[in-house]
Amino acid sequence: MNQILYIFGAIVVIGITSRSVNSLWLTKQQTLYTTEAQITGNTVAQSLIDEIISKKFDEASSPDSTLKISQLTPPKSLGTDAGEKKKDSGTFDDIDDYDNYHRSVPTPRMGSFDIKCTVYYVADNSPDKKLNAISFLKRIDVKVNNPYLGTADSSITVSRIVSYRSN
């Protein structure tokens, strides 16, 4: 009879231990997926920012001239211009063409990363606030959504401020 109690006790201890080990393993796996998704999301966002900053600062920019602030695109006109396709970044020639641009990047392990880009003017003394006037600074916000990101709204935002530079 005592041996049966010992066996029953051992089974209970093994059951509790295996549940704890499984719980730890699950938490570790979830952390690994979240970390991988965050790294992938940041990489996807930074890749789009690199693409954007390779373009001209403004439609009116040219390598052989210096612009006056009044020559830059007004805030309400930021976005694609005539001849540019809103869903085809290959047709874009300046930074603000990416305003309201959407892209989906599929990955083999994490599913699709949905990207939304906004571009707007900012002032040098308040780079976090949208400026409804022309400035020599444009802010690029790339918001990436994926269910594995581990944030409350399943998104991360990567931002970059670009300044006009003349030759």
Q: Residue 58 is part of which domain span? A: 2-163
The confidence score (pLDDT) of residue 85 equals 83
Task: Tell me the per-residue pLDDT of 25-67, one tens digit each, with 9 for 90 and over.
Answer: 556 677 788 889 999 999 999 999 999 999 999 888 777 677 7
Spatial strand order of the sheet with 111-121 comes to 101-107, 111-121, 137-145, 155-163
Strand pairing of 101-107 and 137-145? unpaired
Number of domains in the chain: 1
